[in-house]
Amino acid sequence: MAKYKKIIILFGLMFSGLIIFYYSLTPLRRNSAKRRILHATHILEPDWSKVISKTSDGYQADLTSSTLLVDGIFPSMKGPTTFRTFLLEDKEDEIYWITGLEAKANTKHETQNESDDFICHVNLYHSEVEHFARMGMVDRINIQVPQLITLTKGDLDFNFPEGFGYPIFSNEKIFLGTQALNLNYSNSFFTINYDFKIKFQKNKERRLKPLYMRYAVLVLPYNVKDEFVYTDENINNKVSCVIPKGNHHGLNSLNEEGEAITAFWKVPIGKHTYRSNFTKILALDTIVRLHKINSHAHPYATSISLRDITADSILFKSDIINYKNKIGLDKITSYSSVDGLELFPDHEYELVEEVNNTSDSEIEMMGSMFLYFYDYKLDKIIDTIK
């Protein structure tokens, strides 16, 4: 009998240890542990699905993600994620043109008509090494970020201007992923998955004009000791960094003055303006035409603008509308034009973000634009690529 008591005590200690360990984890890690168990037992759907179909104006890949669990508040950039690597068509070796991406959320939450509020962002990637090597443009490797399209709540229906697209090979690896968001429902426990539509054309059926993406992210100098509080009265002061350690979106990078810079910072209560010069990221060697802009920001941002410093003019202002009765983004305006905007190699450019923190505490912020230019270099050679 004593032997069984020891076994029971041992199991009790092990169970207690697991409980203590579980509650020592961050909310996201606890969520991940539960999700793995639910996927392994198929209580939640662990797999993605993909169906390719012909449409009236081209083709469409319909994908449905695996199912995630949302079991608490998950702020921007801190929620559960799901990710899939796939090929559009493994039986062909042809150039396809990506022309658009749509996303929507499906949830059993009581506010089903607001399911898209639980989307933080959607990312469509390609492998920059494979992509540019196959396109014969190895000089672009490590210059362009691999994100092809990013969608944010407020702008989940992305289309390139008529006649333009982003070329990829039908059998090159592309990656699609999304992150869940829950800003308002602290006691929630529900499941969610996502539907995506990737729109594309086949080059052998319709030749489009290629676009080339540059990612412009607003980066700001921060105090390494994280002791400074930003105020608009002294714009040269440094922001308070959200994640002082790591190397993501400019973290632990330095600007020309040798200052540490970050793309994730804290915003005090009230209205604030942030700006960042990104001329070097553009690396323009000739006049270029900009045909598509979509923006990414966090709740409480009210606008983000592309400004020509040299000409002292706003080329495009993305208006950001926040919900009035809850936290979250309702609408982000984008830019799309067949004619496009001209940018010049001898001009300086910056991003300007306006934020109105109407909450009762500091918030976390970022701001960026995805800029799609006509790719005249690729247009000259694309018909020769095999």
Write the CATH number for 346. 2.60.120
Q: Is residue 5 part of a domain?
A: no
Are 151 and 219 in the same domain?
no
Are 224 and 176 in the same domain?
no
Structural domains in the chain (count): 2
Taking Cα atoms as reference points, which of 357, 358, 353, 359 lies closest to residue 267? 357
Q: Please, what are the averages of pLDDT over each run of 10 residues along the chain (386 residues)?
A: 59 56 70 90 94 94 96 90 94 95 86 79 92 90 84 93 96 94 88 96 95 92 59 56 54 70 91 94 94 96 98 98 93 97 98 96 94 95 88
Are 114 and 40 in the same domain?
yes
Compute the distance between CA of residue 381 and CA of residue 344 in angstroms, rounded to an integer.
Answer: 24
Query: Which residue intervals of the chain are DSSP H helices?
Result: 2-24, 27-40, 128-134, 279-282, 376-381
Listed residues 153, 183, 207: the one ending a domain: 207
The reported pLDDT for the residue numbered 251 is 46
Q: Is residue 6 part of a domain?
A: no
Q: Is residue 386 part of a domain?
A: no
Compute the distance between CA of residue 68 and CA of residue 83 in angstroms, rounded to an integer.
Answer: 11
Listed residues 159, 178, 207: the one ending a domain: 207
Compute the distance between CA of residue 233 and CA of residue 268 in angstroms, rounded to an integer.
Answer: 13
Are 245 and 341 in the same domain?
yes
Q: Is residue 274 part of a domain?
A: yes
Contact criterion met (CB below 8 Å) for 278 and 349: yes
Are 221 and 349 in the same domain?
yes
pTM summary value: 0.88
Range of the domain at 40: 24-207
Q: Is residue 228 part of a domain?
A: yes
Mapping DSSP onto H, E and C, the string for 109-169 reads CCCHHHHHHHEEEEEEEECHHHHHHHCCCHHHCCCCCCEEEEEECCECEEECCCCEEEEEE
| DSSP one-letter code for 78 | -
Are 250 and 176 in the same domain?
no
Q: Is residue 305 part of a domain?
A: yes
Contact criterion met (CB below 8 Å) for 211 and 162: no
Taking Cα atoms as reference points, which of 151, 191, 200, 207 lies closest to residue 172? 200
Contact criterion met (CB below 8 Å) for 315 and 341: yes
Are 236 and 377 in the same domain?
yes
